[in-house]
Amino acid sequence: MMLFTEVRGLPVTVPDRAGPLGTVTCLTVDVASGAVSHVRLRGGRFRGETVLPWDAVRAIGPEGVRAGSADAVGTAPPCHDLLDRRVLTEAGTEQGTVLDVAFDTGTGRLLALFTTRGEVPADRLLGLGDHAAVVRTG
């Protein structure tokens, strides 16, 4: 298990390259599967943001993210960062703000959302948009 905040800023490396491809800016979540779908990263000073599909991640830990190949890195599609996102129930009731997210480093599966109002099981996440993350009530 690891937290999203622990992954931010980690280097992304590949076996066939001397230096890092970039550093992690955030993790993209696929709400339907309840898992991380991409690792978003930023390269050098003037490079734009790119993404590494989760299935190209070979290992992830406190030292960094290791990818199988630099060829897997692609253009970053638009996404919504789950961290610092407002949390609402499906009825529109305010449930705080996402402080962190726990996930399984082997599968990318979300385990829990930690909000300003406590822990929310990841299986209650229904949606993620411009305005908020939507969760199912109890």
Instruction: Tell me the pLDDT tens digit for each residue of 32-59.
Output: 999 999 999 988 554 678 899 999 999 9
State yes or no: pLDDT of 76 exceeds 80.
Answer: no
Separation between Cα atoms, residue 83 and residue 103, nearest integer Å: 13
The predicted structure's pLDDT at residue 46: 45
Structure tokens at 124: 């209650």
pLDDT (tens digit per residue) in 81-138: 899 999 999 999 999 999 999 999 999 999 999 999 999 999 999 999 989 999 999 7
Q: Cα angle at 50 between 49 and 51, to 5 degrees?
A: 135
Residues 61 and 105 sit within 8 Å (Cβ to Cβ): yes
| HSE-CB for 3 with a 13 A CA cutoff | 9
Q: Which secondary-structure segment (H or E) carries 56?
A: none
Question: Could you tell me the pLDDT band of residue 4, with boundaries at 50, 70 and 90?
Answer: very high
Residues 8 and 24 sit within 8 Å (Cβ to Cβ): yes
The predicted structure's pLDDT at residue 79: 83
- The domains found in the chain, sorted by start residue, are 2-75 (2.30.30.240), 86-135 (2.30.30.240)
> For the whole model, what pTM was predicted?
0.91
Residues 21 and 70 sit within 8 Å (Cβ to Cβ): yes
pLDDT (tens digit per residue) in 17-28: 778 889 999 999
Separation between Cα atoms, residue 108 and residue 7, nearest integer Å: 12
Identify the residue with better confidence: 12 or 74.
12
The predicted structure's pLDDT at residue 37: 94
